[in-house]
Amino acid sequence: MHISEGVLSAPVLITGAAVCVAGVSIGLKKMDYDKLPKVAVLASVFFLASLIHIPIGLSSVHMILNGIAGLLLGWTVFPAILLAIALQAILFQFGGLTTLGVNTCNMAIPAILCYYFFREGVKSNKSWIMVASAFSCGFFSVLLTCIMVAIALALTGEAFLAAGQVAVLAHIPVMVTEGILTVSCVSFLRKVKPEMLETPYA
């Protein structure tokens, strides 16, 4: 899911960087610095989850967990994901420094969208609504990320369109897995620390 150096065109890189700067600025402005440890822990979880890559053709498959991160962080997911991706690029050469903006947007924007769509559902007293909302949050965060990766590649050139399609298809098992994992995480938090689902970073 990390787009490597030398793949994207300059206009795509510049646009991604500009949107990323705007998103990170909003995230930092909305951040409650008393909750910084929470942001750091979720950035670490994201870092570890997306660190293990399984190559599939021109793409690779890995867990993302941007859905649950977005659900718990709101807009502060932008700086959290940027930090995790930057460390991966520097330490392990996953993605690249020039693609930091695009890669961050590809994972943070779906996380924020899922936060707004599913934040109320996961707090519902009706178990089926909670389960459906949590699963959808995990599933669609990955799906939207794959679609955004495919769009970024397609905007660079038609030659990369097939790679984008492969990325979407290859991550279908990840979508289902993250949906189930998000249900488990939300169910656990509702029992032991429900206030974590009350995100003040919208």
The residues spanned by each domain of the chain are 10-197
First and final C-alpha spacing in the chain: 26
Distance CA 152, CA 109 (A): 13
Q: What is the pLDDT of residues 3-25, one digit of tens each?
A: 777 788 899 999 999 999 999 99
DSSP H/E element including 186? helix 172-192
Return the pLDDT at 180: 94
Sign of CA dihedral 88, 80, 65, 144: negative
**Domain range 10-197, its CATH number among 3.30.750.24, 1.10.1760.20, 2.40.30.60, 3.10.129.10:** 1.10.1760.20
pTM (predicted TM-score): 0.88
Distance CA 181, CA 175 (A): 10
What is the percentage of the chain residues whose pLDDT exceeds 70? 90
Torsions phi, psi of 8, nearest 5? Answer: -85, 150
Show the low-confidence residues of the chain (pLDDT under 70): 1, 52-60, 158-161, 163-164, 199-202
